[in-house]
Structure 1
């Protein structure tokens, strides 16, 4: 019997809401997709809330409701492309918008907004949300969560594979070809610094097709300084966020090294993302020349792809499209899968990845009635 679930996600790049309709029978099949850009004013509010500092509670509360409304509208637009109605959908898996992720604080916490009460009421569909905090309560990092989905759909019995999601933060999932356990963690900045620097220096929301980076030259002294950050040398389990790898973090290194042109800095940030991903892959135990599959927004940046290929010259690098799931929709599908796991009372985390004391059913359930 097939089941329909919807996965929604607004990533740390804060560029929009992805919604994916997925049929499980039981293998996942992508039926329809919709991407809803954030209204500029709401995007700026979210970006300001993501930056450490004094954040007004009123703005946070309103953004929680507004993002819930935006997610509901994205779901409605998604269903409008199909012949399905709300009654056909088992549940929506809503990740929400991460505002802060502090797994190393005492006590640790993570905060995603996008009120599931609003989503359930406006769509008439049950909503599974708040996926991360159960894992944190069990001593884990609460992230990354997608390795469990990667393990379920991308593992090959005879081939070592690494799945790299290059969103605002980059994360990888190592899938050994044998029976060895999955490994996963955040490698560091993906697009967050690339987008932030481009936005600050050009006014554009992103470096489309890597055009700014292509005009620059990597600054070796700056790259060396950036790579010395302790996060890159910490052992997993580990996770991070844009509140750590922020423009303030970058500026401190620019002040210390003398910086360079906007294009040179962008080229150096591309090199940083590629190097930290490649270094993480090279350190995976007992994996030699794995097949590397990339997904997320960074998979479309030709400068980043070229830099990653140069760093991993002995590995084949392809988009996850080659495995049957489009690179843009892996994460949204993952949250549809996580909603299904919750609906069926099955675990959604990988304790070896997050550091939680045990596997657990993730997320709460919000009903429309």
Structure 2
């Protein structure tokens, strides 16, 4: 099937899109991909929506701003996709299905026997009607309802890529997004988890100081001093005592602990925290990887990458591009892949990746009106 996948991360920086031809199992062939920036007005709405979501009590009606945000994110996706397709001489009619992650505005992991909550804002029906193509979205809800963490979901796609490349195991794929997560692939099967913040806190610190949206190649973090006592304070968070698998919300950690530091020291300390939390997650798997593959925006942070190489030696640390993977497209590809699996009823989450009791499919399918009418006829 020919699929267009979409991903918008918690950094709110843009819309990632990738074309994939796949059977949702072993066949994976790549088409064009791109990231288009998120309009400032859309980002402003989503930032306000996230603040409303963080204050939203369980059991109460969702905040009114959610509907405004859904409309904004659908429009943003439609405009980005239309531009992308025109540039690549494609049209929506070329696709069998669209796989859309939606915008995460809230994620609470299960705790004390209480199910978690996760919200990825989108309107699959409106998007299907706009594009004329079936849409699969809301990939996480089935898992959270079954008592799982609903994250991370990328491991099933990581495994397909690793198997296609014939790579030696054990191997870990590290995604350095707003939150860092890992997929450990070994003869024991799949083990995955969120490990802690990656780019999220560092990007927030940059914006708070009016120094841009991110630390280019980690250059400013490299000039700062690490405050080990603050790293230890961060690592004392209850999340790090929890068993795997486990998941995080971008906002589970704040900048409060570093507020008194200089700009450079704050970045250096946050980078060290990212590294220590990542190492703690890998240790928790009980597996020492031979190979480490870095994906996500943080793979461009040379300072952090060098720290990872030193800490995980003698494992070979490689960037996604070293394997001819598209590091910037990986998550959009993953949700394209999972859209096909959803249509086929194949699992996208597993006991070792989200803690769900048995392998579980997910994703909600919306068919365009014309398609629904023809099916009814």
Common topology (TM > 0.5): yes
Distance 1:94 1:16, change over 3 A: same
Residue matched to 2:274: 273
1:89 corresponds to which of 82, 86, 95:
95
Does the Cα contact within 8 Å between 1:23 and 1:31 map onto a contact in 2?
Answer: yes
Does the Cα contact within 8 Å between 1:75 and 1:123 map onto a contact in 2?
Answer: no
Report the Cα distance in structure 2 between the residues aligned to 1:44 and 1:290, rounded to whole angstroms: 43
Question: What do the CA deviations read for 1:73-128 (whole angstroms, capped 9, x no partner)?
Answer: 22222222334332221111100000000123534210011221222122221100
Residue matched to 1:284: 285
Report the Cα distance in structure 2 between the residues aligned to 1:159 and 1:351, rounded to whole angstroms: 20
1:144 aligns with 2:145: no
Does the Cα contact within 8 Å between 2:110 and 2:147 map onto a contact in 1?
Answer: no
Superposed, 1:190-205 pairs within 5 Å as 190-205=198-213
- List alignment gaps of at least 5 residues for structure 1: none
Residue matched to 2:332: 332
Does the Cα contact within 8 Å between 2:46 and 2:69 map onto a contact in 1?
Answer: yes
Residue matched to 1:41: 41
Cα displacement (A) at 1:360: 2.1
Does the Cα contact within 8 Å between 1:147 and 1:350 map onto a contact in 2?
Answer: no
- List alignment gaps of at least 5 residues for structure 2: 370-377
Cα displacement (A) at 1:24: 2.0
Residue matched to 1:5: 3
Does the Cα contact within 8 Å between 1:275 and 1:311 map onto a contact in 2?
Answer: no
1:237 aligns with 2:245: yes
Does the Cα contact within 8 Å between 1:50 and 1:243 map onto a contact in 2?
Answer: no
RMSD between aligned alpha carbons? Answer: 1.9
> Aligned residue pairs: how many?
357
Superposed, 1:110-189 pairs within 5 Å as 110-155=118-163, 156=166, 158-176=168-186, 178=187, 180-189=188-197
Residue matched to 2:374: none
Does the Cα contact within 8 Å between 1:163 and 1:293 map onto a contact in 2?
Answer: yes
Does the Cα contact within 8 Å between 1:34 and 1:74 map onto a contact in 2?
Answer: no
Residue matched to 1:254: 258
Comparing 331-340 and 48-57, the one that deviates more? 48-57
Does the Cα contact within 8 Å between 1:17 and 1:74 map onto a contact in 2?
Answer: yes
- TM (norm. structure 2) is 0.89
- TM (norm. structure 1) is 0.91
